Amino acid sequence: MATDRTTNRDRTRVVITGWGMVTPLGLDATTTWEGLLAGRSGIGPITQVEAGDLPVQIAGEVKGFDAAQHLPYKVVRRTDPYARYALVAAQEALKHSKLVIDESNADRVGVLMGSGYGPMKSIADHVRDLDAKGPRAVSPLAAVTGAIDSAPGEISMATGARGPSRAVSSACASGTDAIGEATRWIRTGASDVVIAGGADDIVTRVDIAGSGNARALSGRPGDPTEASRPFDEDRAGFVMAAGSGVVILESAEHALARGAQILAEVVGYGASSDAYHWTAPHPEGVSARRAMREALHDAGLAPGDVGYVNAHGTGTQLNDKSELNSLRAVFGTHIESIPVSSTKSMTGHMIGAAGAVEAIIGALVINEGSVPPTVNCERPIDPSVNFVAHTAQAHDVDVVMSNSFGFGGHNAVIVIRRWAA
């Protein structure tokens, strides 16, 4: 039963009218969604960097992406892969929304993109050039290519969006925070439309080595597609991945005035910090629980209204246990009556892109009536919870919660609801 929404009724409603994705499962939203429902994994051996001497040799790479097929040469030349993925996902989202940005609305269209690490591949390239060949070998575009705000900058220039544009970085919570903060932009009247989401590509030698040495990554031997095992007793770490997810957010008034198809409504957002440890979640999940409760309060909903949780579900020993305990604390026994799945079991962990992609997945669940599975969940850590093991399930869902918890104790949660005028 929903709680009193009196305080929420008069505020600006924020809706999703389009989305785009570039992931290890596909170069667009449709292909990615089909892969998820089929239980297909995008995880395999690392091919884009030399990995033979790294502590882990598997990742969720974006495969078959030819930037030249999507972007002008000058844009490709000055962008890191993470920004290219963001720009292509944004272009798909705009096309999906049928939004035209022109002189009549450009000043009211903002861009907010999240990234945990930004252009790590390009920064590494610039450092190698400097060390090997000297200062004159460093590209004059290095300051652009190596900036974490390059993705929102490129999207703004490519689309003509002249509202506020910036980057947000909160580790693995970045994509969710970007959508949540963009929702606030629209609620407060700063923008009518925001192109929002997240992107990352840190399948690099430095990042795989560092995360592998920290024992955060799954080094499970054998089939790479079985390495990501959220909520399984045999989980051994997350799998690094790359990608992007972008949504078009609009005020409901703006969307209805232009006759847009409304795909879902963003009704709640909550964020908090653990103030505890750089890599480990708080053992009691106190702040993660607060973020969930604040998102529900913002939505004017009770835990019993939620019909599906897209869990952060990284597959690490500490995260999955802490998240499940937090879900039980917030939802009580209701958590045993709804599906809870981690799509990272198939995509790997796309860091700053993860929350944005998973928010889109939540909206797709509402629209399509199917919940993607948690593959590799052979021995669930709690058999009383429906982790949607192995195979997608049909569920009629009106409300979705999507969780994102990042290194540094960043917690971000959004609640998405079926649109009802």
DSSP line for 192-216 = SEEEEEEEEE--SHHHHHHHHHTT-
Catalytic residue flag (residue 172): yes
Query: Could you write out the three-class secondary structure of 96-115?
Result: HHCCCCCCCCHHHEEEEEEC
The structural domains of the chain, with segments of one domain joined by +, span: 15-258, 268-418
Q: What is the mean pLDDT of the chain?
A: 95
pLDDT, tens only, 205-241 = 999 999 999 999 998 999 999 999 999 999 999 999 9
**10 Å Cβ neighbour count for 336?**
14
CATH number of the domain located at residue range(s) 268-418 in this protein: 3.40.47.10
pLDDT, tens only, 267-302 = 999 999 888 876 777 777 789 999 999 999 999 999
In contact, 349 and 240? CB cutoff 8 Å: yes
Q: Which of 197-201, 294-298, 318-322, 374-378 has the lowest mean pLDDT?
A: 318-322
- Mean pLDDT along residues 368-383: 98
Domains 15-258 and 268-418 share a fold: yes
Q: What is the pLDDT of residue 418?
A: 98
> With 60 as the cut, is the pLDDT of residue 168 above it?
yes
User: Residue 180 is encoded by which pair of tokens?
Assistant: 């949540």
Q: What is the pLDDT of residue 275?
A: 80
Q: Which of 35-49, 85-99, 120-134, 164-178 has the lowest mean pLDDT?
A: 120-134
Integer Cα distance of 45 and 229 in angstroms: 17
pTM of the model: 0.95
Residue 3 pLDDT grade (very low, low, confident, very high; cuts 50, 70, 90): very low
Q: What is the pLDDT of residue 310?
A: 98
> With 60 as the cut, is the pLDDT of residue 20 above it?
yes
The identity of residue 212, as a single letter, is: G
- Mean pLDDT along residues 23-39: 98
Q: What is the pLDDT of residue 9?
A: 57
Query: Could you write out the three-class secondary structure of 256-268?
Result: HHCCCCCCEEEEE
What is the torsional sign of CA 169, 170, 173, 176?
A: negative
> With 50 as the cut, is the pLDDT of residue 5 above it?
no
Domain 15-258, architecture per CATH: 3-Layer(aba) Sandwich (3.40)
| Beta-strand relationship, 109-114 and 165-168 | parallel
DSSP state of 156: H
> With 60 as the cut, is the pLDDT of residue 2 above it?
no
User: Residue 114 is encoded by which pair of tokens?
Assistant: 């999240």
- Mean pLDDT along residues 4-19: 78
Q: Which CA distances in Å does 116 have to 29, 78, 176, 255, 273?
A: 22, 20, 11, 30, 16
pLDDT, tens only, 52-97 = 999 999 999 999 999 999 999 999 999 999 999 999 999 999 999 9
Residue 8 pLDDT grade (very low, low, confident, very high; cuts 50, 70, 90): low
Element (H, E) at 122: helix 120-133
pLDDT, tens only, 297-339 = 999 999 999 999 999 999 999 999 999 999 999 999 999 999 9
DSSP state of 11: S
- Which is catalytic among the residues 87, 88, 172, 239? 172
- Return the bridge partners of 59, or none: 44
Q: Which of 19-28, 119-128, 234-243 has the lowest mean pLDDT?
A: 119-128
